[in-house]
């Protein structure tokens, strides 16, 4: 088996870094009083954390706890306000991304930040291309990249365009890219947020392998089960404060969660059984781009879960029902009568709301204020004659911000400045102010912390109590499994199985989704 690091040394120009300068188990990176302030806001209060060579060190915390700030400090994206960082015993600045990379510190981000128009191989070698006489050696790079991918067991074509891969596969490419650059210290920022089970398993194998080769791993995640599966030690952040570091053997779920949120969660999956009412919507043989022959119904007071792998047609079905995509066949019945939904407005006017899959691409106008985002679906109602009623505009935005506890000083803050959980709340707030009978939530808790998750689930219960129905789309099985009154499994654009609440095991549902 070829060592990963060897690949990077096959050509000139790769960073040459001494292997294992620090014996396993000794401190490789030490933070002493590391602090970051934005103006008067303390994003990270002085923290003392020691990372040991060759360990998997998990970092957990709610959104806004300071995890991203910490990563950005370590990767040289932002500069610290005060404190010291020791790398292999020497004080270092980590002032620029280049400095961090040249020392062997690398990060794989939650959202893939690669060039979509370039090939997998070109992305893996980006900025570090193999050259001969000033010309790129494309074939050599493709071969080398393929060797790495095969070696990792990823089963991805190195010559394919990145944009032809699923988000999950792109994430694997990003990881392979970091792995082949002589990385000694690799930070994963919620890597599994967009991955399927299989892809996650591949990633975990890779992480264990990198660890065995002596790489120190920092693993940031909201998913407790992953932390317990992978990590040797775990550090907890809350509100910019380092609460503590535990050996994984000495701690448990409950302790970590209480450290993270400073209160106990009686139950994350808050499920209330409510009386089921009349049918709100029914589809018969609905077909469109990416899905075909889907028949299902949603009644008042119930959550209908749609589970499947990414690309199984769940989101496409939701967009079809919402009028975003043209339907090619099938019928939609709304409260008993047949309707035609030609566009998003038709769907909204009927009473359908959609919180789409990607907050960044579909959900939010990121460089506009929170208030404008919340009011976007209802400006026609807030207007009198030609102009918007300013008072009602402000009142409506502030009401959603207060009700949903969106953490912002004012509605004028840009949506891009908010953390994942708060951004999701803005998307939800849009639809609460508009009001609907049927709410479609597509991956509502991706990149959302435990506390906010629980809030979102409680919100579901509130909507159901008010007589609404919910379609919940999720790639995270425990979530759809525990919350859905009825669970439909999608595979390759078709609805392949249906279950009532807890009538099938996890394994059964998973097998149906994968189709083995």
Separation CA 110–CA 167 (nearest Å): 10
Residue 374 near residue 408 (C-beta atoms within 8 A): no
Q: How far is the CB of 66 from another protein (least distance, A)?
A: 7
Our CB check for another protein shows the closer of 54 and 451 to be: 451
The residue from 372, 394, 461, 477 that contacts another protein (CB under 8 A) is 372
In order of 11, 162, 256, the CA distances from 135 in angstroms are 14, 22, 52
Among 133, 264, 337, 387, binds another protein (CB under 8 A): 387
179 binds another protein (CB under 8 A): no
- Between 133 and 367, whose beta carbon lies closer to another protein? 367
Please say whether the beta carbons of 55 and 47 come within 8 A.
no
- Name residue 296's beta-bridge partners: 283
Residue closer to another protein by CB (options 118, 514) is 118
CA atoms within 13 A on the CB side of 27: 12
Contact 318, 354 (CB under 8 A): yes
| Nearer of residues 134 and 409 to another protein, judged by Cβ | 409
- Considering only 344, 398, 403, 482, the residue that binds another protein (CB under 8 A) is 344
Among 106-114, 147-155, 455-463, 467-475, which window interacts with another protein (CB under 8 A)?
Answer: 106-114
Nearer to another protein, 160 or 372 (CB): 372
Report the site for another protein in 290-329 (rule: CB under 8 A).
Answer: 322, 324
The CA-atom distances, in angstroms, between 119 and each of 148, 160, 203, 270, 321 are 15, 5, 21, 44, 34
Question: Using only C-alpha atoms, what is the Rg of the chain?
Answer: 24
Helices (H) and strands (E) in the chain, counts: 18, 24
Give the separation between CA 45 and CA 33, rounded to whole angstroms: 8
Do residues 428 and 406 touch, judged by C-beta distance below 8 A? no
Question: Which listed residue (1, 12, 18, 41) binds another protein by CB under 8 A?
Answer: 41
Q: Which x/- pattern over 390-429 shows residues binding another protein (rule: CB under 8 A)?
A: x----------------xxxx-xxx-xxxx----------
Closest contact distance (angstroms) between CB of 434 and another protein is: 8
Cβ at position 204, least distance to another protein in Å: 23
Q: Between residue 350 and residue 369, which ones bind another protein under the rule CB under 8 A?
A: 354, 356, 361-368
**Residues 208-237 within binding reach of another protein (CB under 8 A):** none
Secondary-structure percent of the chain, ordered helix, strand, coil, rounded to 5: 35, 25, 35
Distances, alpha carbon 38 to alpha carbons 240, 396, 434, 461, in Å: 12, 29, 35, 37
To which H or E segment does residue 133 belong?
none
Closer to another protein by Cβ: residue 128 or 229: 128
Q: Which stretch binds another protein (CB under 8 A): 159-167, 250-258, 344-352, 480-488?
A: 344-352
Query: What does the block give as tokens for 59?
Result: 């970092």
Q: Which of 114, 304, 432, 470 binds another protein (CB under 8 A)?
A: 114
Q: Looking at beta carbons only, is 77 or 496 nearer to another protein? A: 77
The residues that touch another protein, with contacts defined as CB under 8 A, are 38-41, 43, 64, 66, 68-69, 72, 75-77, 97-98, 100-101, 109, 111, 113-114, 127, 322, 324, 344-345, 348, 354, 356, 361-368, 372, 375-377, 379-380, 382-383, 386-388, 390, 407-410, 412-414, 416-419, 430, 434
């Amino acid at each position: 088996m070829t060592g990963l690091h060897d690949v990077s040394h096959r050509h000139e120009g790769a960073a040459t870094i001494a292997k294992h300068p620090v014996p396993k188990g000794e401190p490789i990176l030490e933070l002493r009083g590391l602090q970051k302030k934005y103006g008067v806001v303390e994003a990270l209060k002085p923290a003392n954390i020691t990372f040991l060579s060759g360990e998997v060190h998990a970092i957990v915390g709610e959104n806004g706890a300071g995890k991203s700030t910490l990563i950005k400090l370590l990767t040289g994206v932002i500069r610290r306000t005060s404190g010291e960082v020791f790398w292999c015993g020497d004080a270092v600045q980590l002032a620029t991304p280049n400095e961090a990379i040249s020392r062997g510190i690398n990060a794989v981000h939650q959202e893939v930040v690669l060039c979509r128009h370039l090939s997998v191989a070109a992305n893996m070698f980006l900025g570090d291309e193999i050259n001969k006489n000033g010309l790129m050696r494309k074939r050599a790079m493709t071969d080398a990249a393929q060797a790495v991918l095969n070696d990792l067991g990823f089963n991805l074509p190195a010559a394919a365009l990145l944009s032809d891969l699923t988000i999950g596969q792109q994430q694997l490419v990003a990881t392979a890219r970091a792995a082949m650059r002589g990385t000694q210290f690799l930070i994963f920022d919620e890597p599994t947020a967009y991955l399927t089970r299989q892809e996650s398993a591949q990633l975990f194998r890779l992480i264990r392998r990198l660890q065995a080769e002596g790489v120190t791993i920092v693993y940031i995640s909201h998913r407790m089960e992953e932390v317990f599966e992978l990590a040797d030690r775990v550090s907890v952040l809350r509100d910019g404060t380092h609460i503590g570091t535990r050996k994984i053997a000495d701690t448990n779920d409950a302790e970590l969660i209480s450290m993270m949120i400073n209160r106990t969660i009686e139950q994350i999956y808050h499920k209330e059984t409510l009386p089921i009412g009349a049918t709100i919507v029914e589809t018969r043989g609905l077909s469109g781009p990416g899905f075909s022959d889907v028949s299902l119904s949603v009644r008042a007071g119930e959550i209908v879960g749609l589970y499947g792998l990414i690309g199984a047609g769940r989101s496409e079905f939701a967009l079809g029902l919402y009028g975003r995509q043209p339907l090619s066949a099938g019928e939609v019945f709304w409260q008993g009568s047949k309707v035609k939904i030609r566009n998003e407005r038709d769907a909204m006017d009927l009473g359908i709301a959609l919180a789409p899959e990607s907050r960044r691409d579909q959900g939010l106008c990121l460089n506009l204020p929170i208030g404008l985002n919340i009011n976007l679906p209802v400006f026609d109602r807030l207007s009198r004659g030609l102009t918007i009623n300013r008072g009602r505009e402000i009142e409506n935005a502030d009401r959603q911000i207060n009700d949903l506890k969106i953490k912002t000083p004012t509605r004028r803050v840009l949506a891009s400045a908010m953390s994942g959980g708060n951004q999701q709340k803005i998307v939800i707030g849009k639809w609460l102010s508009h009001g609907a009978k049927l709410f479609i939530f597509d991956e509502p808790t991706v990149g959302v912390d435990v506390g906010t998750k629980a809030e979102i689930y409680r919100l579901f219960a509130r909507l159901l109590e008010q007589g609404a129905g919910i379609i919940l789309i999720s790639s995270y099985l425990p979530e759809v499994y525990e919350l859905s009154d009825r669970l439909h499994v999608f595979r390759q654009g078709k609805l392949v199985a249906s279950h009532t609440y807890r009538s099938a095991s996890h394994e059964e549902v998973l097998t149906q989704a994968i189709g083995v």
